[in-house]
Structure 1
Amino acid sequence: MKENLIDLAAGWNFDNSYARLPGDFFTRMNPAPVRSPRIVIFNEPLALFLGLSAEALQTPEGAEIFAGNRVPEGADPLAQAYAGHQFGHFTMLGDGRALLLGEQITPRGERVDIQLKGSGRTPYSRRGDGRAALGPMLREYIISEAMHALGIPTTRSLAVAATGETIYRETDLPGAVLTRVAASHLRVGTFEYAAQWADEAELRALADYTLERHYPEAEAGGNRYLTLLREVAMRQAALITRWMLVGFIHGVMNTDNMALSGETIDYGPCAFMDAYDPATVFSSIDTQGRYAYGNQPHIGAWNLARFAETLLPLLHEDGEQGVKLAEDVLAEYHEEYDRRWLAGMRAKLGLFREEPEDRALAEELLGLMQKHRADYTSTFRLLADGKAEETAMGDSPEYRAWLTRRQARLARQQEGPEAVQRLMQSSSPAVIPRNHRVEEALEAAVQDGDFGVMERLLDALRSPYESVPERTEYCTAPAANGRPYRTFCGT
C-alpha cells in the first residue's frame, strides 16, 4: 500500500503499447537491483513536462526506481530486441544493458518511453555485464540536454542514479543508471531484426505500430508503408542537417542508433567540433573515419537504404517496383538534406532570400575556415555579433575579399542590419558543450564527487543562443595542445 501511494504521488501514468506487439520483439524482465542507489542529478523541468512530481521522486523511494531496485506501478519492464549494422557489419543486438520501464502519457497527451540504461544483464547482453559507468551516463545527460536547448530533436535525460557498485572496464569505475526519455526506441535496427527473424505478418504489425505512434497522418489511404519510409527519411534529413549546422558529431551512426521518430539517440562517443574540418573524428573506435563529421549525411542515406530494404515486402507486390519506389525516396532524402543545409547556411550568414551564388559563398567560407583551422562555433558567432575581424582568418586577404562579397550580397536585400543580426544570432549558438568543459565537469563529478561544475555548465547550456558576459568561459575554444581529443563508447 505504501508503494502504491508513493507511485500515485509521483504521477506515473503508464500505458505500454509496445508490450502489446508480438512477443518476438522483446523479453519481459525486471531490472537487477543495486547495492546503494542515490540520485546524483535530476531534471526537474523534464519531470514537470512528464507530469511527474519532482518532490516525490527526489527521495530514497525515487532513487530505488531510477536505479532499478523497484518497478513503479503500471510499468511493464522489457528489453527490446533489434539488430543492426555496426560499422557496416550486420549483427544481432538488442537492449543489452537497458530496459524499457513503460510509456508515460504526459499531461498534454503525448506518449514517451521511460527507459533505464545500465540496469543489468538481459538476454541480449552479448557477454556484457549490463551495467553502465557514472561518467558516460553523465555525459549523455549533459549532451542530450544541450541538444534539447539548441532546438535539436533528441532523447532526454530525467535522472542519473549512482549504484554504489563498481563496474570493470579498462579500470574500476563507479556504476550508475541513466533514466532516458524518448519519443520511442523504435530504430532502423528494429526493422532489420523483423526482416531477418520475424515473418511478414509481424513485420507488417511493427510497421503499422510505427505509423500509428509517429506518423498517424499516414493512415488516410495511399501506400502507407511508402509514406512511412518517406517520413522517416525526411525527418532524418532535417535532423542531420541540424547536427551539421552546429558542428555536432554523433560518432556511432550504426543503424541501431537511427531512431525512426527523428530524434538523436545514443550519446556514446559524441562531441562537438572545434576547428572546422570535415574529416573530424573523435570516437576511439572509428579508426577509418566512417562516421566523420562530413560523412554524416551520406551515412544517413546508407542507413535509410537498410531501412528501405526491410520494407520491400510491404512497399509493392512487385519486387522491382518496390526497389524503384525506395530509390525515389532516397533521392528525395538527398534533395531535402541539401535544401535544408543551404537554408541553414543562409541563416547563419544573414541571407533572407535565395540567390544563385549563396552556395559558393557558404562553401568558400568553410574552405577558408578549414585552411586556417578556425573554430566552427566561434567563427559563425563572431560574424553574427558583428565581430568578423576577430575570427582566426582576420588577417587573410582571401577572407577580407570574402567579406566584401558577402557585404555586396547583404546590400541586395531589403532587411536592415538589425534583422540580419537577429537571424544570424538565432542560427549560430554562442554556447555549446565544449569538449574540454564537458571533461572538466565529468572529472569533478566522478573523481571528486563535485557536481557543482556540471551544474554550472548545464546552466550555461540552457540558453545557447544568448551572449552573456558571465558565461564567456563557456564560449571559448580550448587552447591548442597538440593532442587529439578522443571519446569512448562507455560500454
Structure 2
Amino acid sequence: MKLQPRYTDISELLTIEDMPSAVAEPKLLLFNDQLADHFSINHDSEFLAKFLTGSTISNDVAPVALGYSGHQFGHFSPRLGDGRAHLLGAIADQDGTLWDLQLKGAGATVFSRGGDGRCAIGPAVREYIMSEALYALGIATTRCLAVVTTGEMVYRQPPRPGAVVTRLAKSHIRVGSFQYLATQGDIEGLEKLVDYAINCHFSEISSAGEQRYIEFLTAVLDKQVELVVSWMRVGFIHGVMNTDNTLISGETIDYGPCAMMNQFDLDTVFSSIDHQGRYSFGNQPNIANWNVARLAESLIPLFDEQDGAVEKLSSVVNGFADKFNDAFNAMWQQKLGLAGQQEGDHVLVSELLALMKQHQLDYTNTFNALTESLVSDFTVDCRLKGWVLKWKLRTTAESYSVMRAVNPAVIPRNHNIESIIAEFEKAGSSLLLNDFLEVISEPYTYFKEHQSWYELPSDGDKNYQTFCGT
C-alpha cells in the first residue's frame, strides 16, 4: 500500500504530525473488498487490522492531524481540528486519482480538547453502512474501507467495545479549513489551499487572480446545491451540517447523527442535540447557503480591496437560491415523471406534499408506489386517489423509467440500521448486515421478496434520536 503525503506543503498550521495510539487486540470486523480492489489493496487481514488501527505505521509518510475551524450550530470555534482522526496519507486508485486514507478513533491528537480520541463499535458500523448506502443511491460520499475492533472498551454511557473506522475521501478540505487559515492570518497558506482545492476538484478553472477565487466559490456552491438536492431526493437528513463537516468537494461526510426520513415532514429532526431544528430535513438548503457564505468570508483576505471583494463574493452567494430552486424543481419533475414543464406543476407538487404531511405518509414508499403504479396494479394510498387522477394526466410512456431512476425502493431505514448495530454491540457480528448490503446494492429496483426491508418501524420512529458518536 503506497502512501503519499498530502497538505503538508500548504501550511504548517493545516497539518500537524501526530501518531495514532496502538490498540490491544486489533481484529478486522468489516472490510470493503470491492472498494479495496479499486485501490489494489492486499486482503491480508492480519496486516490490515494492525495498519488500519495505527498499531503499525508506514515508514514512508508520517500520520498527521488536520487543523480546521468550524461553525457548530452557528457558533464559531476558531480551532477544532481532528480530535480523533489521523490522516495516514493519500493512496491512488486504479485511475490514478488520489484519495485520503484516514483513521477515525485511532487515539487522541493535539486537537482532542480532553477527549479520548476513540470510537465505539456502533458509530463505526453506522458509518460503514450509511456511506455504502448513499454510494449505492448515487449520492456523493466519502467511503468506508474498513472497521477494525480494538479489543478495548470505550468509556461511554454505557461502556462499549472500541473500533477504528478507515475512511477514504477525495479530500478532507472543508469550509472550516479555509476559515482556519483566514482566522490565523495565513494568507499565503490560504492562497495555496485554494490552488490545491482547484487542482483536486475543479481543474476546469484556469483563470488567475481574483477571478480565480470567484470561480472557485461558484464551483463549490454548485457542488453544495447538487449534494443537498440529492439528499432531499431520497429523504436523507445529515443532522450536523457544521462548516467543519462541509467538504468543498461536495461529498457527504460525518455520519454520526444522520438519519432517513420516513413520514414526510420538512421539519423532521432526529439529532439529539439539534433542539432548534437548525439541521432539519427542510432547512438543509438554507444551511448549505449559509456555509457557502462562510467560505466566501474566508476568501476576502485574498482580494486587494475588501469592499469590492464583499460585493463580488456576495453576488455568488446570493445566487444560491435561484440555482437551488431550479435544481429542486427539476428533481420533483423527475420524481413525478412529469412531461416537460407546465404552469401548474408547482401546485401539483405542493398538493402532494401537503397530503403526505397531513396523512403522515412514508416518503420513500409513496414515491415507489406512484412509480410502480404506472406499470402494474400497485396500490397507492387511497387518500391520494383524487391527486393521482390529476397527476397521471401529466405522465407519458417514459415516466416510469424516469421515476424509477430517482425514486429508491429501499433506503437504509433507521430501525434496520439500529437492529444491525445492536447485533454488533451484543455479539460482535450481524446476521442482518450481508442481506442488507445485498438489498441496498440495487436501491432503484423493486423486488417483492425484499418487502421486509421496505416496511416501516412499528412505532413510526417515535422518539427516535441519533447522536454524534464517531
Q: Out of 27, 40, 48, which is 1:51 matched to?
A: 40
List runs of 5+ in structure 2 lacking aligned partners.
none
CA distance in 2, matches of 1:128, 1:265: 21
5 Å matches for 1:96-135?
96-135=83-122
One-letter amino acid matched to 1:114: L
Mapping 1:36-115, distance limit 5 Å:
36-53=25-42, 55-56=43-44, 59-91=45-77, 92-115=79-102
> Matches of residues 17-416 of structure 1 in structure 2 within 5 Å?
17-53=6-42, 55-56=43-44, 59-91=45-77, 92-221=79-208, 223-314=211-302, 316-386=303-373, 390-392=379-381, 394=382, 396=383, 399-410=384-395, 415-416=396-397
Q: Distance in 1 between matches of 2:241 and 2:380?
A: 32
The amino acid of 1:480's aligned partner reads D
Structure 1 residue 446 corresponds to structure 2 residue 425: yes
Secondary structure, aligned partner of 2:356: helix
Shift of 1:73: 4.6
Q: Which moved more, 1:214-223 or 1:171-180?
A: 214-223
- SS of the residue 1:132 aligns to: coil
Q: Which residue is equivalent to 2:462?
A: 483
4+ residue runs of structure 1 moved beyond 4 angstroms? none
Quote the offset at 1:389 in angstroms. 7.3
Distance 2:464 2:34 in 1: 32
Secondary structure in 1 matching 2:204 = helix
User: Aligned pairs, how many?
Assistant: 466
Q: Is the 8 A contact 1:19 1:76 kept in 2?
A: no
Encode CA deviations 1:50-84: one digit per residue, 9 max, x unaligned.
2212x33xx21111011110123533310000010
Asked if 2 retains the 8 angstrom alpha-carbon contact of 1:361 and 1:406, the reply is yes
Helix, strand or coil: the match of 1:323? helix
Provide Cα deviations, 1:69-101, integer angstroms capped at 9, x if missing partner: 012353331000001000000012000000111
CA change 1:202–1:481 in 2 (3 A) is closer
**One-letter amino acid matched to 1:70:** T
For the 8 Å contact 1:313–1:319, the answer to whether it is kept is: yes
2-structure distance, mates of 1:482, 1:473: 16
Whether contact under 8 Å (1:211, 1:219) holds in the other structure is: no
**What residue is the counterpart of 1:7 in the other structure?**
none
Contact 1:374/1:391 (CA < 8 Å) preserved in 2? no
Letter paired with 2:442? S
Higher helix share: 1
- Structure 1 regions of 5+ residues with no counterpart? 1-11
> How far apart are 1:481 and its partner, in Å?
5.7
Equivalent pair of 1:31/1:69 in contact (CA under 8 Å) = yes
| CA distance, structure 2, for counterparts of residue 237 and residue 41 of structure 1 | 32
Q: Distance in 2 between matches of 1:469 and 1:401?
A: 27
Q: Distance in 1 between matches of 2:416 and 2:289?
A: 32
Q: Over aligned residue pairs, what C-alpha RMSD do you find?
A: 1.5
8 Å Cα contact 2:409/2:444 also seen in 1 = yes
Give CA deviations for 1:245-297 in whole Å, capped at 9, x if unaligned.
11000000111000011100000100000000011000001111110001000
Hey, what's the Cα distance between the residues in 1 that align with 2:6 and 2:67?
Answer: 15
Give the stretch that moved more between structures: 87-96 or 481-490.
Answer: 481-490
Please give the alpha-carbon distance, in whole angstroms, between the structure 2 residues aligned to 1:152 and 1:75.
31
Q: Displacement, 1:452? A: 2.3
Counterpart amino acid of residue 299 in structure 2? L
For the Cα contact (< 8 Å) 1:122–1:130, is it kept in 2? Answer: yes
Deviation, structure 1 residue 45: 0.7
TM-score (norm 1): 0.92
